Amino acid sequence: MLKVENLHVSVDDKEILRGVDLSVGQGEFHVVMGPNGSGKSTLALTLAGHPRYKVTKGTLLFDGESILNLGPDERARKGILLAFQVPPEVEGVKIIEFLQQVLVELKGIDPAEAYDAIVKKAGELWFKEDDLHRYVNVGFSGGERKRLELLQALLIEPKLLILDEPDSGVDVDSLSIISRKIEELNRAGTAVLLITHYGRILEHLDPGTFRVHVMKDGRIVMERGGEFVNEIEERGFQAIFEECGCDE
Amino acid sequence: MSETITLADAKAVIENQIEELARRNREPEWMTKIRYRALEAFERAPHNDPVISEEQLLHFIAKPEVEGIPEHIESLEDLPAELKALLDRLGIEEVEQKYVAGLAVQTDTGVIYNQFLQEWAKKGLTVLPTEEAVRRYPDLVKEHFLRLFRVDESKLTAYHTAVWNGGIFLHVKEGLKVPFPLHLFFLIQESALAQAPHIIIIAEPNTEFHLIEGCTAPILVRHSLHLDMTEAYFGENAKGQLTVLQNWPEYVHTRPMTRAKIGKNARFINTTVGLGTGKSNTANPKYWVDENGYVELNGILLGQKDWYVDLGGEMYLQGKGAAGINASKAVIMDESTVITRGIITAEAPKTKGHISCDALLLSDKSRMETYPGLVSRVDDAELSHEAAIGKIREEELFYLMSRGLSEEKATQLIVKGFLEPMLKDIPMEFLVEIRKIIELAVSGGM
Ligand SMILES: Nc1ncnc2c1ncn2[C@@H]1O[C@H](COP(=O)(O)OP(=O)(O)OP(=O)(O)O)[C@@H](O)[C@H]1O
Ligand SMILES: [Mg+2]
């Protein structure tokens, strides 16, 4: 479904991704790990079509077609959704009105139906109806923002859900609900590309069901099975990189 | 604008209009005298408009461009379909049935559709065309007509005073709290007269009201200049709100002149929503605030195309503990220019004033200037100002678009969101209309 080949990406003429290869099939679950600054968010934002991240080389296919020339809205309509690492505040725009509009446009349902769906799913992620009348992310804590990102994923039900650190800054209980909801979406057919620093969010998953990609200096340098997460957590990236000769 | 028009030509036209108005209104002599005095003042008064030259002004007066709708309008049934549709959209009839709102449609000759207001008249609420108030309440009008302006301040004040016609006289008797917003629509159809409504608001002590002037209604004749004047008087502890929705056609220059005296413990919230401000709109409302009184000027300004919008605002905090806020939010696109220049003068101890200006620029050629003025004549006043002029943040736009909204839709959301906090006191029916106008403007500007 998603095929990334030799992807090079620059921001303000500075090259950040230097030849990324990655494939995600329908309904699959992939994890991306890597040190701070290795380019994980850059990859996520590039897939979602951020205008400042310029692809200078390589291919980016979704369902067999190049999406390089598509804007972020067109990619969303094709079924790609990014849950941001740092979701921005949008002053004056109420969550409920925003989500209603999104569902009306993306799924073609009517506003009243959208409203009910939003309130119901919001409850599952511990949002009260009052919260939905607040402005998008304004004054929300880090953990609340992550739950709001997931709420959007639950409502939109994308084909490919890219999650950029949905678990950072999140308390234990929120983490457990977030990880369960991700699995739920995945079981229902959404392919997941999950960026994380910790194995905890993957605790309930059978390591045999997902792949782990390790990023370093703008490249994916290793791909392993799910059990590799534990090894990374135990030994750290440096030791692993030294051993595999990934340090060049 | 080929032929040259002299001051004498303009004066002759004004004089004709004065005579016609005196006759049409069966006007008492004292009012006609005021008009003639204004005509004299017109000659010597200075002209200092930033956009309209003196030559242009004389031309507007003597050779108004007129395209009227001829038929006479006496009841709601006679309204043009588009205006009727607007009233329907605003749910006026429904609202009226529920007895929660008052509506007046101001025409050249009277206020129509006001059965509901008649009920309230018995309780002490007077809403009349200013012409009629001149005849029925001469003493009250004399006491409040042109008390906050000097006739010879400028050619525009003099001209307005000489030919004023239309406008509303709102009088709220002591202690009366009007629980619903009063809607006033201007509907001007008679062609040859200048557009110069005069509005008088008298809120006696301990009263409450909210007047909404909706200029979203189409104006039926084509004029180049619209000059309205509002004088508002707030007694002790009176609380009033005046919301003006402007949606002028593009060819008109508008010069609203508003002044208010705010008594002890009184509160005045003056909101102006300039969605269609016309070719140019300059306003410099003035407010005098007594002990512990409070005034708020909220300006919502939408600059489009080549429009020129200049919103001032002078507040004189004259009594101990008086406070004033001048806050504006502007969305500026195309090649439009918006200027804000509020001045707050603290003349008494423990007064507080704040000026804020927020602008969102949607194009490279749009322009915003802000000149906050803070003047303190005492040593314990608290005066402050803040300004932020910026563009739409890329991160916000990307975030909304990454959810499948087109750039246009995402921009509309951000622009509406930017203005949202200022629209808090506006009734829902108008919000719907206002949001629609903003959406259209954003789409048009993209
Ligand atoms: N807009 C930008 N301008 C300049 N440099 C940038 C920009 N965005 C990313 N970078 C740089 O690119 C590199 C990769 O950043 P990225 O955010 O993709 O890392 P990451 O792997 O997500 O890190 P973390 O684990 O800390 O989230 C970093 O060195 C970062 O400073
Ligand atoms: Mg990151």
| ipTM of the complex, rounded to two decimals | 0.97
Distance between CA A4 and CA A2 in Å, rounded?
7
Residue type, B274: G
- Could you tell me if B194 and B227 are in contact, meaning their C-beta atoms sit under 8 angstroms apart? yes
Tell me the two tokens of residue B11: 């004066």
Phi, psi of B26 (to 5 degrees): 45, 60
> Under 8 Å CB-to-CB from B256, ≥6 apart: which residues?
B228, B229, B230, B244, B246, B272, B281, B283, B285
Instruction: Give the best residue of B331, B391, B399 to mutate against chain A (max A CB count within 10 A).
Output: B399
Partnered with residue A162 across adjacent β-strands are: A82, A193
- Could you tell me if B242 and B271 are in contact, meaning their C-beta atoms sit under 8 angstroms apart? yes
Residues 32-71, chain A, touching B (beta carbon < 8 A):
48-52, 71
Is residue A89 packed enough to be buried (19+ CB in 10 Å), middle (13-18) or exposed (0-12)? middle
Ligand 1 centroid distance, CA of A17 (Å)? 10
Is residue B24 packed enough to be buried (19+ CB in 10 Å), middle (13-18) or exposed (0-12)? middle
Tell me the two tokens of residue B173: 């008797």
- Per-residue confidence in pLDDT tens, chain B, 446 aa: 457 889 999 999 999 999 999 998 899 999 999 999 999 999 999 999 989 999 999 988 987 665 544 444 455 566 666 556 655 655 444 433 332 234 444 444 344 445 567 778 889 999 888 988 999 999 999 999 999 999 999 999 999 999 998 888 999 999 999 987 887 766 555 555 678 889 999 999 999 999 888 754 444 556 678 899 999 999 999 999 999 888 777 778 889 999 999 999 999 999 999 887 778 889 999 999 999 999 999 999 999 989 999 999 999 999 999 999 999 999 999 999 999 999 999 999 999 999 999 999 999 999 999 999 999 999 999 999 999 999 999 999 999 999 999 999 999 999 999 999 888 878 776 787 788 888 888 887 66
B240: three-class secondary structure by DSSP:
strand
Tell me the two tokens of residue B136: 């029925």
Distance between CA A28 and CA A186 in Å, rounded?
8
- CA A81 to chain centroid: 7
Ligand with the closest atom to the CA of A46: 1
Is residue A36 packed enough to be buried (19+ CB in 10 Å), middle (13-18) or exposed (0-12)? exposed
Residue with tokens 């009517």: A110
Partnered with residue B382 across adjacent β-strands are: B352
Distance between CA B343 and CA B356 in Å, rounded?
11
> What is the position in ligand 1's atom list of the atom closest to the CA of A53?
1
Size of interface A-B (CB pairs under 8 A): 77
Phi, psi of A12 (to 5 degrees): 45, 50
Shortest distance, CA B411 to any CA of chain A (angstroms):
11
> What is the position in ligand 1's atom list of the atom closest to the CA of A12?
3
